[in-house]
Amino acid sequence: MTTVLAGGVGAARLLRGMVRAVPARKVTAIVNTADDVMLHGLSVSPDLDTVTYTLAEAINPDTGWGLVDESWQAMDTLERLGSPTWFRLGDRDLGTHLHRTGRLADGVGLTEITAEIAHAWGVQVRLLPMTEDRVATMVTLANNNGVEQSSVGDEIGFQDYFVKLGHDVDISAVRFAGIADASPGPGVLEAINSATAVVIAPSNPIVSIGPIIAVPGIGAALANRRADVVAVSPIVNGAALKGPAERMLRELGHEPSVIGVARLYRDFAATLVVDIADADLASGVEAEGMTCVVTPTVMTDLNVATNLCQTILSPRLRLTQY
Ligand code: FO1
């Protein structure tokens, strides 16, 4: 059994390779839910949906989120009605949110609902929300960033930061509201405790992996399995492949490099996989107390993703010098 800690797009690409390296039924993904948002009365779980749609080969290839062959008529209606439309929910995608919201109202847990959605798409990877409790990533603006009606110290929700402001603003803090009272979702601790390998996907370490590790009990379970935990750096050559990871690391006082990633993960993972572009920093990673494996990690196609996963799962991983 392989367990993967997953955010959105980067994790989804890794999981697509993982199911070519090992049977999908032997893979569990523990997925971030701190990006989840209520919009138009609907429960939207972006990372769960990105992973599901990607594994179903139904993801929109242009955006990396939402469904392929999407139409936007519901958004046009919302626009006509004067409702906010900055967060785009396609007509096909809306069905997922309607189903999730209705089932939650019926008292069904998010883990069961996620399994229903995955099953409907033929996804055999077991997808586990990190928690069924409400956790929300909140971002503090460092200055008014030219945004009207905002001032230094204002705290906004993650999707306001990520989508509405296009993460093109300076920030000074990130916190996960509700995390202290959250419990790991059903099956999460077992998936970590019983895995032969635990993989931390190349997702944003602060806002995608950070909330998963911060759920009480999950960080300790990972630390307990440290020797078998392999993280893949989302930072390549000092830059994030997608999204604001590099900028966030820098603004929150971390080094925006594989060394900074190593410092965030060293208590939980024994091994850090970095791209060949960062080969010269391997000794620096090892100086932080992690074994460093250098291999292509930029998942431009499925072959790179599959080879990366084969390397990650190689039993000789920690003995191999590249
Ligand atoms: N990202 C955007 O940049 N703009 C959007 O309008 C948007 C809509 C959206 C709808 C459903 C969904 O599952 C994801 C969506 N995302 C959108 C992506 C999402 O904001 C991010 O992928 C994550 O929250 C960060 O991992």
Q: Determine the atom of ligand 1 nearest the C-alpha atom of 7.
A: 26
Alpha-carbon radius of gyration of the chain: 19
Query: What percent of the chain lies above the pLDDT cut of 70?
Result: 95
| Local confidence band at 242 (pLDDT 50, 70, 90 cut-offs) | confident
For the segment 293-309, the average pLDDT, to the nearest whole number, is 97
| Local confidence band at 91 (pLDDT 50, 70, 90 cut-offs) | very high
Going from the Cα of 35 to the center of ligand 1, the distance in angstroms, rounded, reads: 9
Domain assignments of the chain as residue spans, ordered by start: 1-133+183-322, 136-177
Q: Determine the atom of ligand 1 nearest the C-alpha atom of 208.
A: 26
Domain 1-133+183-322 part of CATH 3.40.50.10680: yes
Q: Which residues line ligand 1 (CB under 6 A)?
A: 7-8, 35, 44, 46-47, 49-50, 65-66, 87-89, 93, 159, 162-163, 208
| Local confidence band at 143 (pLDDT 50, 70, 90 cut-offs) | confident
More confident residue, 39 or 315: 39
**Residue 321: predicted pLDDT:** 41
What is the rounded CA–CA span in Å between residue 52 and residue 159?
20
Q: How far is CA 258 from the centre of its chain?
A: 18
Of 156, 164, 111, 110, whose CA–CA distance to 137 is shortest?
156
Going from the C-alpha of 294 to that of each of 184, 205, 207, 280, the distances in angstroms are 32, 19, 25, 10
For the segment 229-256, the average pLDDT, to the nearest whole number, is 95
Q: Determine the atom of ligand 1 nearest the C-alpha atom of 158.
A: 24
For the segment 257-264, the average pLDDT, to the nearest whole number, is 98
pLDDT in tens, 47-60: 999 999 999 999 99
pLDDT in tens, 150-161: 566 789 999 999
| Local confidence band at 315 (pLDDT 50, 70, 90 cut-offs) | confident
Strands 155-157 and 136-141 come out as antiparallel
Going from the Cα of 224 to the center of ligand 1, the distance in angstroms, rounded, reads: 33
For ligand 1, atom 12: residue with the closest CA: 46
pLDDT in tens, 189-210: 999 999 999 999 999 999 999 9
